[in-house]
Amino acid sequence: NSLLSKSSPDFIMLIVLVLMITPVFCMDTDAQMLGILSCCENGRKKLCISKILTGIILSITVSVLFFCEEIIYYSLKYGLHNSSFPIQSISQYEDSSYKLSLCQLSAITSGNIIVGCVMLSLIVMAVSVISEDTLSASFTGAAVILLSYFLFDGLDKYKLPLPMGFLISTGYLQGI
């Protein structure tokens, strides 16, 4: 029940993600390497694509590692022997029309969290390219998460094209 019915994102994971994604583009600006990199053969398009792919892979890796940590914690604490039970066995999903097992729900939830982390990393990378400042990119990443979590309630978190709906992701499967 604790693993699959969370109503808030893993803020520690998001802080780690923002702190790891921010320097992907800001390092070049801070080291004053933009002039050199823009005139190199592999410096413009190839470098940009590789940095974006690095950010996406990094966000997927961070979210998978944090999800594995939660699975291991709950497995050791409670045991995960009943993963084939239907999701209606959890009180939060008792009215759900989906015919899913707890294991399938866990996989869908982790997939949604990965999508949210990738969205957040793309937002942070875009801001870091536009602002060319590490502090403003970090602040924007934190603001996107905190403002969308505290300002929007219920349906708004899932209707707006922000990463927060995916990072919580339980509302999609509850039919909110």
Structure token digits, residue 10: 């893993």
Q: CB-based contacts of 155: which residues, under 8 Å, 6+ apart?
A: 171, 176
For the segment 86-109, the average pLDDT, to the nearest whole number, is 74
Look at residue 114 in the predicted model and tell me its pLDDT: 92
pLDDT tens digit sequence for 102-128: 778 788 888 888 998 999 999 888 888
pTM of the model: 0.81
**Kind and range of the H or E element at 2?**
none
pLDDT band at 175; cut points 50, 70, 90: low
Look at residue 34 in the predicted model and tell me its pLDDT: 59
Is residue 115 within 8 Å of 161, Cβ to Cβ?
A: no
pLDDT band at 59; cut points 50, 70, 90: very high
Q: Per DSSP, which regions of the chain are E strands?
A: none
pLDDT tens digit sequence for 15-27: 888 888 888 777 7
Q: Which of 33-47, 63-77, 147-161 has the lowest mean pLDDT?
A: 33-47
Look at residue 4 in the predicted model and tell me its pLDDT: 61
HSE, side-chain direction, 13 A CA sphere, residue 89 = 13
pLDDT band at 56; cut points 50, 70, 90: very high
Residue 61 has pLDDT above 90, yes or no: yes
State how far the Cα of 116 lies from the Cα of 76, in Å rounded to an integer: 27
Residue bearing tokens 């994604």? 21
Most confident of 28-32, 64-68, 81-85, 164-168: 64-68
How crowded is residue 132: how many other Cβ atoms within 10 Å of its Cβ?
15
Look at residue 64 in the predicted model and tell me its pLDDT: 93
Average pLDDT taken over every residue of the chain? 78
Of the chain, the percentage scoring pLDDT greater than 70 comes to 72
Rounded to 5 degrees, φ, ψ at 165 are -60, -40
